[in-house]
Amino acid sequence: MYFRPPPKGPEWGGDAEAGQAARPLYPMMLESPQLRWAFVRKVYTILSIQMLLTIAVASVVVFVRPVALFFVSSPAGFGLYIFLIILPFIVLCPLYYYYQRHPVNLLLLALFTVAISFAVGLTCAFTKGEVILESAILTAVVVVSLTAYTFWAARRGHDFSFLGPFLFAAVMILMVFALIQAFFPLGRISLMVYGGLAALVFCGYIIYDTDNLIKRYSYDEYVWAAVALYLDVINLFLSLLTLFRASDS
């Protein structure tokens, strides 16, 4: 499971006591509605391309069996698998600093997406097709529903920024839980609990990041906004996959 990086877009501006001009709480306050909607469309276009790329790469790994067998049957393949798991975290470092520099940001984003797609494909390669289909359908339904709800709530003045600290604490708990499970396996029930809790946490992150997309990200932060939403969707899918796979075993 790929946990989220810290949010890039600041909600608060300069230090008033130091004489710095404070930035507005919401960058969209200084933008026309047309520019904000253009930004939203741009982010979701990038996110759609990321998801299509993930489906394509994962499908190749799942259906071309020699690819998956290479990663699990040879030392070189296993080493490459570990590298692909670590690679997204490595790519996030330069992406954090070059997220506004075109086209470097898009190239880093593509590398980030392909690396995660390989890991997702290898996870699916050794999972029943019914479990993958159930997880994918439920992920799509949840993402569309929560996105529509957040846009509806934002139009009525609701704000979800208060979720940030709680979701961050929940991710820390999930990380500790995952480490305990890795060294001291607790069985099928613990995996189901872990998958269910993780799914709830990333449902919260979908609401939180969609709210940030509407209100807080500036127009130049489209790559970072797409990364946040992409990780939410992928982590939700992997959480449901863990839950259903544990219940099916």
- DSSP letter at 1 equals -
| Long-range contacts formed by 185-194: CB under 8 A, 24+ apart | 188/246, 188/247, 188/249, 189/246, 191/242, 191/243, 191/245, 191/246, 192/243, 192/246, 192/247, 194/242
**Band of the pLDDT at 78, cuts 50, 70, 90?**
confident
The model's pLDDT over 173-224, given as tens digits with 9 standing for 90+, comes to 988 888 887 787 777 888 888 889 999 999 999 999 999 998 888 888 889 8
**Band of the pLDDT at 22, cuts 50, 70, 90?**
very low
For 206, half-sphere exposure in the C-beta direction (CA atoms, 13 angstrom radius) is 27
pLDDT score of 13 more than 70: no
Q: Residue ranges per domain, the chain? A: 27-248
Of residues 178 and 8, more confidently modeled: 178
